[in-house]
Amino acid sequence: MRKSFFAVLAYLVFSTAASAQGTPVAEAAAGYSIIEVGKGYTFRMHGGSGSIAYNVNDWLGIVADFGGYHATPGVDLTAETYLFGPRVSCRCFYRVTPFAQVLVGGLHDSAVSTGFTDAHNAFAYDAGGGADIILDRGGRFTARMQFEFLGLRSNGSITTNTARLSASLVFRFGRKS
């Protein structure tokens, strides 16, 4: 019984140190995203998004997220987002890293109808989370699924609430000691 107790205690101490060593210095992600817009009438925008994150420590990262989306719901609509902010990760599981993030930034959209282009800039904010699942033995490649609430505010008072669903591949750089 005594040996079992010390074995479990040693495992807990060393596994905590091992999980801290598994924190990457930085992460780069690229993937496919869908934005569901429900203002007036519902339509979907399909596109891609990418992010770069620097991990300050094993639970806090700083994120830059960029995306480009397109829809043709009667008008030809294109939008680009650029968002920045903190990400909190829970690196307490072996192969799965859940996270939550809050990002702020902007959106540029342009719509073409009857041959004329109408462009807008808007304030954008994003809150949500997801999880990274390790794909390889070294932990360098992960698959990421995330769901976020994306809010767009333009013309001073008009707010459009949308949802963004993304699936990405992530490459991790370096290891924090």
pLDDT tens figures, 50-102: 999 999 999 999 999 999 999 876 668 888 999 999 999 999 988 999 999 99
The model's pTM is 0.80
pLDDT in the model for residue 122: 87
Residue 18 has what pLDDT?
Answer: 46
List strand residue ranges (DSSP E) for the chain, in order. Answer: 26-37, 43-55, 60-71, 76-89, 96-113, 116-134, 141-154, 158-173
- What length does the chain have? 177
Average pLDDT (28-42) is 85
| Alpha carbon 155 to its chain's center | 27
Rounded average pLDDT over 9-30: 65
Here the tokens at position 27 are 């992460």
Output 79 or 13, whichever has higher pLDDT.
79
In the predicted model, is pLDDT for residue 9 greater than 60?
no
pLDDT for the residue 7? 55
User: What is the predicted pLDDT for the residue at 71?
Assistant: 86
Domain boundaries, the chain: 2-173
What's the fold here for domain 2-173? Answer: Porin (2.40.160)
Residue 115 pLDDT grade (very low, low, confident, very high; cuts 50, 70, 90) = low
Per-residue pLDDT at 4: 56
Q: Summarize pLDDT for 130-172 with one digit per residue, the tens.
A: 999 999 988 899 999 999 999 888 766 677 888 999 999 999 9
Transcribe 138-170 into DSSP letters: TS-EEEEEEEEEEEEEETTTEEEEEEEEEEEEE
Tell me the pLDDT band of 175, cut-offs 50, 70 and 90.
confident
